[in-house]
Structure 1
Amino acid sequence: MYVLASRRFGGFVLVSRSFVLAAIGVLFASVSAQNLVLNGDFEALSIGNSVPGTPKVEGGWIFENYCGVETNGNPGKSSRLESNGSTSFDPTASQTVSGLQIGETYTIAWDWKLRVNYSGSGTGRSFGVFLDDQTYAGALFFGERLVATYVRSSVSFTATSTSHTVIFAGELDNRTNGGAGNTDVSYNLDNVELSAVPEPTSLIGLAWGALALRFRKK
């Protein structure tokens, strides 16, 4: 199957549809690859934990309530979402991302696995991703993983401001819209990314532009 690409020397140059789709695929990969999160793999950060009331602030991240950085990553280092089953607070790792376009869709992706299943599992809501505040209104994702191997998950949101704070939390219970009762299920977090979702029409326009430039240079 061929599509009309441009006129040259009184004739038409035919370009295969597969070539066009391949060009769109390359453009999609290049556009979506821009990660707006700093140090999403935690490799440049020092190992150590926060304590309640004294956050660990480093490399764009804020770690609170015993949350911090350790090994056990995918690979290398990871964030440790562990607060020893406290009934007063949850371990959180957060970062404020700026330079967003209001009305544009963004995807947050991350690797996560079970660290310790001490008690309170089975709620399906001991892990959460929040936007701007740790409330139900700010919740983007609730889940639970009871296997100590990494899996990749993602969730999308539409920016309503030029900056948003992304919050990852473990050991969620009924105080923060997690499971009922006390929850002591901790997690490791790694390879966090936040990127814009390109619109298909924009990608097609870029692909045709690339094709036009290619034939113009011949």
Structure 2
Amino acid sequence: MQTEPDARLRLLDAAELLLREQGYERTSIRAVNKAAGMNPAAVHYHFGSKPALVTALLEDRLRRSWDGPLADLTGTPPDIGQLARVLVEPMAALAADESRGWLLALLARLVLAGHPLPWRSPWPAPEPWIEIVRRAVPGLSERDAADRWRLARDLVLITYGAPLAEPGHPPEPPPARTVIAFVAAGLAAEGDPHDHDLRARATGAADPA
């Protein structure tokens, strides 16, 4: 008798094969169920939806790259340089790995396109990273920390993940040390003293001059 973990594993393996060969848009739930040798309702029963299936696959295959280092950051005095390394180095390694680079391309495609993905692991969610940024750069508001984190994440995904989705040979990314230095500088940059006033005027919240 097949257990639920066995069934989920079969579906994840089938999804991995199809996603690698066909991409996200062309991979259907029906095809995954068929490739796994399971009934037409299997994906919905075990995962709920196609986005949930793909999210579970990405978490299963990639979470070890970030979970441990991120946990270390939350338990020690934060350092922006270390935070940048934790973000950049796994992506640089994935981009250079011919067997797993497609996973990074898939992650970049979905995140940059704004697909709602039901993450369960801490590393893809912004909250733990934003908290580390705020602890490392005292005085940052939650909004500013979130904006900086989103810009840093998207920059790294574009640098390492987006080129892998293009046909042919992707361009060589800059050295990881260069990307780390750039990301760290952006996260730690001093804020513009006029930023609050400009933002208030843009939203109509500032008093007229």
What TM bracket, shorter-length normalisation? 0.3 to 0.5
Q: Which has the higher helix share?
A: 2
Q: Which has the higher strand share?
A: 1
Q: TM-score, normalised by structure 2?
A: 0.32
Larger Rg: 1
